[in-house]
């Protein structure tokens, strides 16, 4: 999927994926990451998500990556913060107290640029990418983060009815991308009221990914 697709979405205000409040799966399950206050959480392809405001309000630091500068300008305005903007390689870095966002191609974000993070919260990145890019993304994410724990949110629906994004990513695919490095636990699966985009029945699942002690650990059932 070309960068121009996402730039057009933001320019036209076609951001139905943007939620007006923090995601309930985040607020319900974030504590399972067992992070101390002040921990730094990385949000790939973050947009201007209200999840960032929730994390900051709850005492966490935020790092993010996003393609659209418009989204990040909107984010800082909504947060009431004035960012310092600098150029880092092919990226722009927007920084304020407890928050750093890199604007540009996420594959240009290196471990050196990102710096240490304690966890990843992926609500809108894996599911936003077409199938041919998701394995590359997952590998890159693990490489730049040091395979820190993740709270991952996925959707599952009949993609022959509508196409993504967000794309349908089932358990087998999560296992394929992450099972060699992480122990996978399904925390909660719920039906999306009214269906995805109001057009197709869909579930939304929160996954806890914790670094595995052995290879190829299978997904754990929901408690």
CA atoms within 13 A on the CB side of 193: 0
Query: Do residues 35 and 5 make contact, with C-beta atoms less than 8 angstroms apart?
Result: no
Annotated binding-site ranges: 10, 45, 66, 123
- Give the residue numbers of the binding site for S-adenosyl-L-methionine: 10, 45, 66, 123
| DSSP E strand boundaries for 110-163 | 119-122, 150-157
Instruction: Give dist(CA 141, CA 126) in Å, integer.
Output: 10
User: Cα–Cα distance between 107 and 103 in angstroms, integer?
Assistant: 11
- Helices 131-145 and 171-178 cross at an angle (nearest 10°) of 40
Give the separation between CA 74 and CA 213, rounded to whole angstroms. 41
């Amino acid at each position: 999927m070309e960068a121009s697709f996402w730039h057009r979405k933001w320019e036209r205000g076609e951001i139905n994926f943007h939620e007006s409040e923090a995601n309930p799966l985040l607020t319900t399950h974030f504590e399972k990451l067992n992070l101390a206050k002040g921990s730094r959480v990385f949000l790939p392809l973050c947009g201007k998500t209200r999840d960032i405001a929730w994390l900051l309000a709850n005492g966490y630091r935020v790092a993010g990556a996003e393609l659209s500068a418009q989204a990040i300008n909107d984010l800082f305005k909504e947060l009431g913060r004035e960012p310092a903007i600098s150029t880092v390689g092919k990226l722009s870095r927007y920084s304020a107290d407890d928050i750093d966002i890199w604007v540009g191609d996420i594959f240009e974000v290196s471990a050196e640029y990102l710096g240490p993070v304690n966890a990843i919260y992926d609500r809108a990145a894996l599911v936003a990418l077409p199938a041919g890019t998701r394995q590359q993304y997952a590998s890159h994410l693990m490489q730049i983060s040091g395979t820190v724990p993740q709270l991952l949110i996925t959707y599952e629906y009949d993609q022959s009815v509508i196409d993504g994004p967000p794309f349908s990513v089932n358990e087998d695919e999560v296992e394929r991308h992450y099972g060699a490095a992480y122990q996978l636990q399904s925390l909660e699966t719920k039906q999306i009221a009214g269906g995805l985009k109001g057009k197709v029945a869909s579930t939304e699942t929160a996954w806890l990914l914790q670094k595995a002690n052995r290879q190829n650990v299978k997904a754990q059932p929901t408690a």
